[in-house]
Structure 1
Amino acid sequence: MKEVSFTLQAGRTIALVGESGSGKSTIARMLMKLESPTRGEILLDGVPTGVRGRALGRYRSEVQMVFQDPFASLNPFHTIAHHLERPLRIHHPELSGRQVRERAEELLERVRLSPAGGFADRRPHELSGGQRQRVAIARALAPGARFIIADEPVSMLDVSIRLGVLNLLADLQREDDLGVLYITHDLATARHFSDEIMVLYKGDVVERGPADEVILNPQHEYTRTLLAAAPDPDNLGRLRDEVRAELHHTT
């Protein structure tokens, strides 16, 4: 991983795009304090973030992650209610037991799992993949998150339900003024669900800019190659031909 610098603002979505091995998940793990950068800093509201104690607790309440695999990110032995009530108890100790349960059911309603009571006492294996990912999103909101790191949140879901999950994230972002880092290899969804796109290649940001500008007028050859591989009928044929011509010219 080389020098990567960006600012994630409230109410905005940045898409971090690149192929496997480009460094996307490493950035996510550093932002979640699961790995430490060898140099540089991660700032929250312009202040360096702590590595322990109250400062770390505050950071983790405000920066949450939605993992790629909705099957592995939920504990199969616990109910859906447990997955939501535990972060509520940790980050909101002032809530009574009844308030915790009510808040958990409110979160289920917010992610369109209704009636909430019908989902709260189920276990993850009783839900579909899309429903599990909605629970994971609700869990990320439970501590009071201001920023969501969404690491390939729909790549393991059926194509027919991906749009619903992405639309849910977009709705929640508008409602709560969330900042979202959307990590993906899919430039098509990056264009439609982000304000800015950063293209990552071998640990370097090789291109960045407003989503439409990066998609419609790519400047870097790697971005053009990604676009040529994307199943987007608006630009697939033209870009694929142009990239093939460039590759032929260089051989």
Structure 2
Amino acid sequence: MSTKTDAARGTGTLEARNLTKDFHLRSGFTTTTLHAVKDVSFTLEPGRTVALVGESGSGKSTIARMLMKLETPTSGEILLDGAPSGTGGRALERYRSDVQMVFQDPFASLNPFHTIVHHLERPIRLHHPELTSAQVRERAVELLERVRLTPGESFAERRPHELSGGQRQRVAIARALAPGARFIVADEPVSMLDVSIRLGVLNLLAELQREENLGVLYITHDLATARHFSDEIMVLYKGDVVERGPADEVILNPQHEYTKTLLGAAPEPENLGRLRDEVRAELGIVG
């Protein structure tokens, strides 16, 4: 059962155009300005993943929050299908039907007092009021099975504390798909998960991206997984995009010193969570 046609889901663009965000910090009588994001532009298209890579404090999550309308840009704009995106009322509701986020912390993003199925039914009802209660339930259970929580009915009435971190993040992914989103902002979606289950969650995201023809912004500090799961990589340093290009090109022929530094600390995709130098030492590789 689908709440949006395949044609609708596989069309359009989400564009960040010259996004800038400044924060004004006060200390006593002194005010300083923090330039968190500086003139950043990119376009998300159906069926493609753009990775935004940088260390903590580089501005990645601020960009995500602006895309989700949780922060207002100091300047610049966000365009959905070539038109300025809504800022309130029904226009914002329509925007959030198309653009959804998977947050970093699966332990904080789900309400511990509600069942798993409640987390999915609520956005379905909000964005698709034409559906009956039975149809909403059917859609929610279908989504659980779509993210490999099977059988869906066995997970529906559980609460978040009864699920592992990886299972909770799968619920978060299902919730992002619930309104029929065309674009997903995945903000460090596996950084708080055990190393042993990270790859499974990333593979699920990649599979859903292909099958649902989603446009995905994958935010991470890890260039290795960015190469593995993305078509294009943008490297962010202190709010500036210092390098961008096709994933293989950025990884195999980095131009900026910061990109080279990130590569030196990046875990191999098959050894997520372990620094490359440690793996090389174990294998007896010199140089």
Q: Give the TM-score range, shorter chain.
A: over 0.9
Higher relative contact order (CA 8 A, sep 6+): 1
Shift of 1:50: 1.3
Partner of 1:162: 198
Partner of 1:242: none
1:220-231 map, 5 Å: 220-231=256-267
Alignment partner of 1:72 is 2:117: no
Q: Does the 8 A contact of 1:227 with 1:236 survive in 2?
A: no
Alignment partner of 1:101 is 2:137: yes
What letter is aligned with 2:232? E
> Cα 1:30–1:164, aligned 2, differ >3 Å: closer, same or farther?
same
Aligned residues: 237
Unaligned residue ranges in structure 2 (runs of 5+): 1-36, 278-287
Q: Distance in 2 between matches of 1:161 and 1:236?
A: 19
Partner of 2:53: 17
TM-score normalized with structure 1 length: 0.92
Alignment partner of 1:32 is 2:65: no
What letter is aligned with 1:59? Y
TM-score normalized with structure 2 length: 0.81
1:86-165 map, 5 Å: 86-165=122-201
Q: Does the 8 A contact of 2:51 with 2:232 survive in 1?
A: yes
> Cα 1:233–1:83, aligned 2, differ >3 Å: closer, same or farther?
closer
Shift of 1:231: 2.8
Alignment partner of 1:211 is 2:247: yes
Aligned-partner SS, 2:210: helix
Q: Distance in 2 between matches of 1:229 and 1:97?
A: 50
Greater share of residues in strand: 2
Partner of 1:247: none
Partner of 2:94: 58
Unaligned residue ranges in structure 1 (runs of 5+): 238-251
Q: Deviations over 1:154-193 (max 9, x none)?
A: 0000111111100100111111100000000001100000
Q: Distance in 1 between matches of 2:267 and 2:244?
A: 21
Shift of 1:233: 9.4
What letter is aligned with 2:168? R
Q: Distance in 2 between matches of 1:91 and 1:236?
A: 45
Q: Distance in 1 between matches of 2:174 and 2:268?
A: 31
Shift of 1:229: 1.2
Q: Percent identity?
A: 85
Q: Distance in 1 between matches of 2:269 and 2:157?
A: 43
What letter is aligned with 1:181? L
* Shift >3 Å, 4+ stretches: 232-237
Greater share of residues in helix: 1
Q: Deviations over 1:68-102 (max 9, x none)?
A: 00000000000001000000000000000011000
Q: Distance in 2 between matches of 1:31 and 1:230?
A: 27
Aligned-partner SS, 1:3: strand
Q: CA RMSD in A?
A: 1.4
What letter is aligned with 1:86? R
